[in-house]
Chains A and B, each alone.
Chain A
């Protein structure tokens, strides 16, 4: 067992005993076999001394038990690392930033506390998975959808706190944005309700976010200032129908007006599903790589923008770009919205249109089996069945980490980001695509996702880690920041948010020192270290 740094063996064993008294002996895990389950399956340090591993784990069942555990940890200065369902694969899984931490595993707190069909919200505990919430809604027959990520085995609380996202209408797609109200256990064991929940007997905890005074929910996301034990979420009323349509445009430069038009449609509330921009020339996320002939052209320095490729596309009659727009709503309304979208896209010379799927909802069993389920609020593990083996990721079973910068929603930014990242890929010998399109569409920004393969080869992982860090730096030099990253890189990413001599991090550290003076909560999470470890790391 790897003890937390600076903790005496006697203190640790005394704390473990108190954890056992708090939650029951069977819910404190200290054997190597049990603790190994908290390893990050996709750790970029796999098999190396630096791999971040837990010392033990404790799994409370109630908020009162969480309070007891936290109070004990605070008394003995034992670092604890909170997880909900621990399925944050690609971004760290359930392993702590600080080796030797005790994992505070909240999976047993899996109660759906309330769902209001009338006002379309839910209040859940952190151990509730998307499957659990979906099942609850199905069993009750509520006409509500949960915005789920893909894969959907994680926790709404954990995913929202990590700023994850899904596929439904924009007001639900960003999961932290769609939360309303939290319960938080502080480092001293005190219990806090945010928003309207701060008022005893409040009737609108899950209906109005802000309460009175500063809105502090944000400081409990991507941070280590408290243990979130309840969280409210706004749910999407089941729409009447779903419709998709695709526009294709012929020329390279058409990407710019294509994205501008899409952005206008989304910001105006016309198109309200998660769109998808693609190109038959480059493939896309989880799609086959382009043909060898096109790959050779893409591999050149001017890549997607080369006159050769543009000539190739024109001669072959291949459109350069496509954009699939998606609509939820009444059948008549979304048909009109698609018609309006076509009108707007028609301003791009050569634009062509194709009607896509139309479903009256709920889905029939046959439709259910065919669709991409997260776009219908249905959690799925299908992602894991996709044959991910490719030249870019020869050992998919060993995992990946995501490099995921936020990029402006413009065609110019997409071109520039690709030019910069492609050059970096060539310079570092990185296994990333020659050209990438946005993977996640926030209302006001794109997320690019580049999967870095994890292997069980130490030398390869070291090389990829160094390349990843350089890529973070290069992105920052161009004004693009990561939205989320694995613990191995959180310090590096936080360091790029450096305006005014790292004023933001200094503020985080000021808050950390005030609310968690012993630094027991998730030390190092998102680059925020407690004072005693900051000094050691300086």
Chain B
């Protein structure tokens, strides 16, 4: 497995490529995908809205927040997770992820994919991703989307049930044409512990 540094260097070398142009082949064997009960997005951030729009086209249920997850937690997730620990994904600021990760722990769930999306010093977007190797090596399947946030939605729609090995990967992409988000965003998937699957 390549080290984080090697991935970073690869990211710099590939800095002019869209996120979809990176490793992987479309001929990779089909993997069973993780059903996402819902994805959470934040209306305040353009990238998060773009992520939700793409997720909806992929058939995922999207729930919008404006920073605060109390309502979706109290009226939806807390009740659902008592019945069954269903997986969710999101592209949000740090706060919602921080809360949901800790609330999910109490239902034997874990963050199984985490991406931090920040503007780097050279003005490009840096995406530091941690997740299943099968997923992060499968990025070519994301081809053809207009921006990185849409690609993240694609990636979640193809999230594998099996996640035996995790890896880190950093990818650099152009920033959104339609403006920057006012806070660093995090993409994430929360799912039941491996042994509970």
Contacts and interface: CB of A to CB of B under 8 A. Distances in A.
A384 B99 contact: yes
Contact of B94 (A135, A153, A373, A397): A397
Interface string B94-131: 11101100110110001000000000000000000000
Given A131-B78, A153-B99, A385 B67 contact: yes
B70 interface: yes
B73 interface: yes
Interface in A365-383: 373, 379-382
Given A131-B78, A397-B94, A381 B106 contact: no
Nearest to A387: B183
A389 interface: yes
Nearest to A105: B106
B182 to A, nearest CB: 8
Given A131-B78, A389-B183, A384 B95 contact: yes
Contacts of A387: 93, 182-183
B105 A381 contact: no
Contact of A384 (B66, B98, B110, B182): B98
A33 B105 CA distance: 11
A267 to B, nearest CB: 34
Interface string B158-191: 0000000000000000000000001100000000
A154 to B, nearest CB: 11
A456 to B, nearest CB: 13
A107 B93 contact: no
A381 B183 contact: no
Contact of A385 (B74, B96, B106): B96
A33 B194 CA distance: 11
B197 to A, nearest CB: 15
Nearest to B184: A397
Contact of A380 (B70, B78, B105, B182): B70
A285 B151 CA distance: 39
Contacts of A381: 68-70, 73, 99
B183 A382 contact: no
Interface in A79-95: 85, 87
A37 interface: yes
A454 to B, nearest CB: 13
A9 B93 CA distance: 43
Given A131-B74, A397-B94, A382 B68 contact: yes
B105 A385 contact: no
B105 A37 contact: yes
Contacts of B78: 131
Interface in B51-101: 65-70, 73-74, 78, 93-96, 98-99
A384 B67 CA distance: 8
A385 B103 contact: no
Identify which of A33, A85, A384 gathers the most chain B CB atoms within 10 Å of its CB.
Answer: A384
B42 to A, nearest CB: 9
A107 B67 contact: no
Nearest to B78: A131
A385 B102 contact: no
Nearest to A388: B95
Interface string A59-87: 00000000000000000000000000101
Given A135-B74, A384-B96, 7 more contacts: A153-B102, A382-B68, A384-B68, A385-B93, A385-B95, A396-B94, A397-B98
Interface of A: 33, 37, 41, 85, 87, 107, 131, 135, 153, 373, 379-382, 384-387, 389, 396-397
- Kindly list the 7 A-B residue pairs having the minimum CB-CB distance in the complex, ordered from nearest: A385-B67, A384-B95, A397-B94, A382-B68, A385-B68, A381-B70, A380-B70
